[in-house]
Chains A and B, each alone.
Chain A
Amino acid sequence: MLSHEEKIEIEEELKGAPFKRAASIDALKVVQRHRGWVDDQGLKDVAVMLEMTPSELDSVATFYNLIFRRPVGSHVILVCNTITCWMMGCDSLLKRLTERLGVPLGATSADGGFTLLPVPCLGACDQSPVMMVDGKLYGGLTPEKVDEVLKEHGWKG
């Protein structure tokens, strides 16, 4: 069941949409904002509101890499691994992150604290190497600075 808040927010998105399905990505984002990810039941409930079939909506949801169809940790780390950051040493950041969190790229730490994901160019190439945690950008990173960022987000290693 969608919560009262989720319903109200989705209805708000529907108001601005010329056709209901136009709000599909925004509606999925509402659910993700509240739950961290989009679970199967949430997807089905949104599909009903948008007058789409669940599989139609899922085909949209699974297209976009920032709609999460699997659970994620309390914090999501997006690390740029595209050309400039690759040249500037993102591999050393990724090595440090996977060591600290004890999981490979694409996975969530055992305590459910952090999900580590690669992301294409974050458009901050003058500050390379960069990563984003919960929507906040960090540039000019080194493995040491990665530790500081993790601590800022409650990592207790």
Chain B
Amino acid sequence: MEGLNEKPLTALMRPDKAALSLAEYERAGGYQALRKALKLAPVEIQRVVKESNLRGRGGAGFNTGMKWSFVPMDSDGTKYLIANADEMEPGTFKDRMLLEGNPHQLIEGMIISAFAIVATEAYIFLRWEYALASERMSKALSEARAKGYLGRDIFSSGFSLDIKLHVSAGRYICGEETALLNALEGRRAVPRAKPPFPQVSGLWGRPTVVNNVETLSNVPHIIANGDEWYRGLSRSKDGGTKIYGVSGKVKRPGLWELPMGTTIGEILEEHAGGMREGLKLRCLIPGGASTEFLTEEHYSVKMDFDSVMEAGSRMGTGTMIAVDDKTCPVGVLRNLEQFFAQESCGWCTPCREGLPWVEKTLSAIEEGRAKPGDLEVLEMHGTSLWIGRTYCALAPGAMEPLRSGLKLFRSDFERHIKEKGCPYKAH
């Protein structure tokens, strides 16, 4: 039987998709991990989480326990924990399910994680468009406060914490953790220079940890069952399960909690049902818009951070976008770069000026107005907006699909240029 032992994050969720109430969550064992955690030393929690091989689900895959260990433990004064619920990476919709379906799982994960770094204030940074999640989170927070699970002296442990819900006002860049800090401080959400890293100097200059919603939702299960159990859930080196998703013209778009390291082919064919009748897979973007294209050749690649990296892309958020053979790959890239150009925060020149240039060049090619040298212009940006050339990872992220697309769809680009327009439009 599939249960908490195979799918800890989602097994409890209700089939009607209503949020689990506090009473339902507790009946299934909820908030027991918190009771256990508050009896441990904070550094012990850090150690267990580190050894569980939980890697950040926001996209970069940094070991969570390790990230926490950079927080100074001897400092007095306020420290902060922030749940990143800004989910705006195109093609990504996994945190929405966790927020709407089991808000107390996130709250419990946040209290334990805050205790692990001895943070006494916490925020959930939620995108405005997640209105249903906002309603359900507010309700769950009130329930937890009423029971004394949030507030002063939780379970007579001496540890106090409140969680505030901050509903954002748009812009993809707010999800970048240092831009998020500026947004929470009421400023323009431009990223900050690192170092100093937020763990040392974050919100209002205080030590701060920012973790993704899915990352934090895993924490209660690790504490309840131990690091060995957590590693055992996985089919690869990274611990745990992963919420994978597929969108596009597949038979059954959706989300599935599966062992970390499930192969791309299994997710696409068995869970998403493969492409719709009459369509073939042209390529897939494995983990949100800012990852390199893969193809059917990569069906045997395991979806975990290291394996997808070895295959030349990134697992990112683990929610794939399947592109069918009737969709124009130049059009796909144009749409992606339009998004990135629009969402550039404008802080640094290569990104602010370069992305609109990329977008215009792709539009020209798609619409049959290409000029000689346009492909070279695109290639040049692949270098000048690459890692280390810009202030944050938005621009290199935008270049990941572009660089791989230029290689993979070379003949499509050339056909557009030769035929002065999009050959797929005829369909």
Which chain A residues have a beta carbon within 8 Å of chain B's beta carbons? 16-19, 21-26, 28-29, 50, 59-60, 63-67, 78, 81-84, 86-88, 119-126, 128, 132, 135-137
Contacts and interface: CB of A to CB of B under 8 A. Distances in A.
A19 B186 CA distance: 9
Interface stretch (B138-146, B227-235, B249-257, B389-397): B249-257
Interface residues of B, number: 53
12 contacts: A18-B204, A63-B188, A66-B128, A82-B91, A83-B285, A84-B90, A120-B339, A123-B87, A123-B93, A123-B95, A128-B247, A137-B132
Given A81-B335, A123-B88, 12 more contacts: A19-B185, A22-B185, A28-B169, A50-B186, A67-B170, A83-B90, A87-B248, A119-B129, A121-B89, A123-B87, A125-B93, A126-B253
A64 B169 contact: yes
B184 interface: yes
Given A21-B186, A25-B183, A84-B91, A136 B131 contact: yes
A59 B169 CA distance: 14
Given A82-B339, A83-B335, A29 B169 contact: yes
Given A86-B335, A87-B327, A120-B342, A66 B170 contact: yes
A26 B232 CA distance: 44
Contacts of B89: 121
A64 B172 CA distance: 10
A71 to B, nearest CB: 17
Contacts of B171: 63-65
A25 to B, nearest CB: 5
Contacts of A136: 131
Contacts of A22: 184-186
A69 to B, nearest CB: 12
B332 interface: yes
A123 B332 contact: no
B113 interface: no
Nearest to A63: B188
Nearest to B334: A86
Contacts of B184: 22
A50 B89 CA distance: 32
A1 to B, nearest CB: 23
B321 A120 contact: no
B118 interface: no
B169 A66 contact: yes
B249 A87 contact: yes
A83 B204 CA distance: 36
Contacts of A123: 87-88, 92-93, 95-96, 127, 129-130
A19 B204 contact: yes
A50 B62 CA distance: 38
A126 B92 CA distance: 10
A25 B186 contact: yes
B49 interface: no
Contacts, number: 126
Contact of B249 (A18, A50, A88): A88
B169 A125 contact: no
Contact of B319 (A24, A125, A132): A125
A21 to B, nearest CB: 4
Contact of B129 (A64, A78, A82, A86): A78
Nearest to A57: B186
Closest 10 pairs (CB-CB, A-B): A125-B247, A64-B169, A24-B186, A66-B170, A65-B170, A121-B90, A126-B253, A63-B188, A82-B90, A21-B186
A83 B332 contact: yes
Contacts of A83: 90-91, 285, 289, 321, 332, 335-336, 339
B245 interface: yes
Interface string B160-178: 0000101111111000000
B343 interface: yes
Contact of A126 (B186, B247, B289): B247
A22 to B, nearest CB: 5
Contacts of B327: 87
Contacts of B255: 126
Given A60-B187, A82-B90, A121-B91, A126 B332 contact: no
Contacts of A24: 186-187
Nearest to B340: A120
B323 interface: yes
A59 B93 CA distance: 30
B189 interface: yes
A125 B168 contact: no
Contacts of B247: 84, 125-126, 128
Contacts of A121: 88-92, 339
Kindly name the residue among A67, A78, A83, A120 whose own CB sees the greatest number of chain B CB atoms within 10 A. Answer: A83
Contacts of A120: 88, 90, 172, 339, 342-343
A122 B125 CA distance: 16
